[in-house]
Amino acid sequence: MATPAVTDKDPGDILSLALEWHAAGKRVALATVIKTWGSSPRPPGSNLAVAEDGRFEGSVSAGCVEGAVIEAAQEVIATGSQQLLQYGVTNDEAWAVGLACGGQIEILVERIE
């Protein structure tokens, strides 16, 4: 039986994978859940790693905001400036991107240098 090299459950694996991509010469951004309010699916410390070639592993929500975070991550990869993102039902972006569960999350996106 094949065993997966990485899962979204073990933060160590996502960090290792991000480092592996970086060591292979790819530019990589790391998104980390820093704060949650109400019912958010992933706790603080959850990671999503995004490479410049579009590959990503891990999660910061149940898939609700990953698309937007990956987009922001590409911007962070290009500029090198970290970003703080907030999503929730009260957010201006609620129409486009938000948490169906009614929770709110704040996410840090930083480039690995």
Partner 1 sequence: MRAELLDAAVRAQADKRPVVLLRSLDSAERWLLDPSETPDGLEGLPDTLRAHCYEALKRDGASVVESDGQRYLLQTISPPYRLLVVGAVHIAQALVPMARIAGYATTLVDPRPAFATPQRFPGIEILNAWPQDVMDEVSLTSRTALVTLSHDPKIDEPALAAALRSDAFYIGALGSKKNHAGRLERLAGLGFEAATLERIAGPVGLDLGGRAPAEIAIAILAQIVKARYARE
Q: How far apart are CA 16 and CA 57, in angstroms?
A: 11
Q: Which is nearer to partner 1, 96 or 111 (CB)?
A: 111
Q: 22 Cβ partners below 8 Å, 6+ apart?
A: 28, 112
**Residue range at the interface with partner 1 (CB under 8 A); choices 22-30, 52-60, 86-94, 97-105:** 22-30
User: In Å, how far are 5, 34, 106 from 74, measured between CA atoms?
Assistant: 24, 19, 18
Retrieve residue 104's tokens: 């709110």
Q: Which is nearer to partner 1, 4 or 95 (CB)?
A: 4
Q: Is 3 in the site for partner 1 (CB under 8 A)?
A: yes
> How far apart are CB 21 and partner 1 at their closest, in Å?
10
Retrieve residue 36's tokens: 């949650």
Binding footprint of partner 1 on the chain (CB under 8 A): 1-4, 7, 9-13, 15-16, 18-19, 22-23, 30, 32-35, 43-45, 82, 84, 108, 110-113
